[in-house]
Structure 1
Amino acid sequence: MAQHQIRTVQCLSPSGLHRMAYKEWGDPKNPRVLVCVHGVTRVSDDFDNMATALCDRYRVVCPDVVGRGRSDRLQNPQHYQVPQYVSDMVTLLARLDAESVHWFGTSMGGLIGMGLASLKDSPVRKLVLNDVGPALNPAALARIGDYVGKDVRFATFDEAARYIRDISLPFGPHSEEEWRKLAADALKQDSDGKWILHYDPGLAVPIKATTPEMMQHAEAMLWMAYDAISCPTLLVRGAQSDLLTPEVAHAMTARGPKARLVEIPGVGHAPTFLREDQIAIVREFLLQ
């Protein structure tokens, strides 16, 4: 696997300062920057294979969104929301001295990318949205919300890995080695030697506080953001996704940046891009 470095950048929330960690691959002087951002309970290590495959062409930067992985936890969990994450990414791009970037975002990482790409004078020149859009199926959100914030602890890694596999089955078929990597990336040991999830359970606080009225307002705002995007956009959908419906995906091809849609058969929410056939979809779009 290609060499990478782990760095941190100091960011600001209304409650104070926090550090955001990021993995960096490739030549740090390469002006071609690809930022890859993970889903709500995942981490930067999800992109190890993609970064290895693309770091000959890009400086690949994969942050741990605050509250996950190697990054700090927020003092006030109510701030675990997209506007805070977009603000943190602006700080990260300033640290990188990146005037323009290509963006790959899975689920939550795609929402962050949409928020950033919609802004006037945005640095995002190409955008890949992995199984996410402005309108999200409430039943799927409820499924994800059901396990976010659970304070689960396991005596052995194998027991914890089975749990990760069970909640991640919509990712689609993977080898035993791939499942173990997906588990190892999302787990850590606590001071008692128990295996726990590698994120702040406080992520659930704003999710649980969301009302149907708030969801409607958020969806309207996200469509406004999507319609403001002007850069070339690729939308990848797991053909069996319960989060991004076919109707929303096709609407996204007809408005805003009129995303190019690619569906991956046999996969739900969300494609992991661990394998070369999936990585090739991104490579072709970004480098064409």
Structure 2
Amino acid sequence: MPITDAALPPSMQPQRLSCLGPHGFHRIAYSYWPGPSEANPAAGVGRPTLCVHGLTRNGRDFDALGERLSRRGPVAAPDMPGRGRSAWLADAADYSYPVYLGTVASLIARLGAEEIDYVGTSMGGIIGMMLACQPGSPIRRLVLNDVGPFIPVAALERIAGYVGLDPEFADLDQLERHLRAVHSAFGPLSNAEWRHMAETSHRVRADGSLGLGYDPAIAQAFTAAPLTDVDLWPFYDRIQCPTLVIRGAQSDLLTAETAEEMTRRGPKAELYEVADAGHAPALMDEAQIARIESFFT
């Protein structure tokens, strides 16, 4: 089980939700910030924001962003199935976009708003594109963090090289060193931010050693068929809501050419480039948080 007693942000409330999948219900956990409308009704009702993480990460990656955005309204950041505090799925084939879309739709329904704002990192951004292009989508504004409608096979091969591995770590320091190496492209995080990532994204094995905080079976999508370039332009071109694309300047997953094309096609996104990051900016930096906040205002 993943550690759950890492320090919580001041106003964050851990929550759980049951979602229906192909093989029954699965339980997810999510971080929830009530926002000013619930803590102080006189402040008015704010539009909820939903933040969805990348392939091997979890909702606690958005602690800093969630705290800031909760000044304007409620914020929810789920641990997607098989990650963080959420249950592992009995059938590894269910680690798929149809299940992820249903999970996020259930959480949107829980939030009870007609419109939401959405932040998606990598896998979370793909989910966001697939939701935003649907007729009647509740997404009012969309932030895609270092992901777009074309993903080169070379980037997928790099990810396949580490996802699904299940290394053991003697202690949190050793696990943190692993995260620093694998996710160095997140940008120049502080020591406290790396430690926060280690504290919130591991599990304790039966023998007391530590493991990464996700089900290794999430890698099945990478091993079920040969990897090829991914073309999601038909989804992106149908998006109509205002869109902000954040790109790490050294990213191999969102190329400069694809990012520029995204400003000309579909929703004609705004482009914000982070000079000192690759795939994907961690969204913990003040400048990155402020840019998202201003886009949603």
TM-score by length of 1: 0.94
1:20 aligns with 2:28: yes
Question: Cα offset for 1:2?
Answer: 2.7
Matched-pair contact (CA < 8 Å) for 2:46–2:72: no
Q: Distance in 1 between the 2:162 and 2:196 partners?
A: 20
Question: Cα offset for 1:240?
Answer: 0.6
SS at match of 1:72: coil
Encode CA deviations 1:160-181: one digit per residue, 9 max, x unaligned: 1111111011112122111111
1:130 aligns with 2:145: yes
1:89 aligns with 2:104: yes
Aligned AA for 2:34?
G
Question: Cα offset for 1:31?
Answer: 4.5
Aligned AA for 1:119?
Q
Tell me the matched-pair count.
282
Matched-pair contact (CA < 8 Å) for 1:11–1:17: yes
Q: Distance in 1 between the 2:113 and 2:21 partners?
A: 22
Aligned AA for 1:190?
R
- Corresponding residue of 1:236: 246
Q: Distance in 2 between the 1:74 and 1:12 partners?
A: 11
| Percent of aligned pairs sharing the same letter | 46
Aligned AA for 2:234?
M
The correspondence for 1:37, drawn from 52, 56, 74, is 52
**Unmatched runs of 5 consecutive residues or more in structure 1:** none
Question: Cα offset for 1:96?
Answer: 1.7
Q: Distance in 1 between the 2:77 and 2:142 partners?
A: 15
Matched-pair contact (CA < 8 Å) for 2:12–2:67: no
**Unmatched runs of 5 consecutive residues or more in structure 2:** 1-8, 39-44
More helix by share: 1
Q: Distance in 2 between the 1:23 and 1:174 partners?
A: 22
TM-score by length of 2: 0.92
The correspondence for 1:158, drawn from 152, 165, 173, is 173
Matched-pair contact (CA < 8 Å) for 1:37–1:44: yes
The aligned runs of 1:108-119 (5 Å cut-off) are 108-119=123-134
- Corresponding residue of 1:282: 292
Give the root-mean-square deviation of aligned CA atoms: 1.3
- Corresponding residue of 2:266: 256
1:143 aligns with 2:151: no
Question: Cα offset for 1:191?
Answer: 2.2
Q: Distance in 2 between the 1:205 and 1:35 partners?
A: 26
SS at match of 2:290: helix
Matched-pair contact (CA < 8 Å) for 1:31–1:98: no
Q: Which runs of 4+ in 1 moved over 4 A?
A: none
Matched-pair contact (CA < 8 Å) for 1:20–1:64: yes
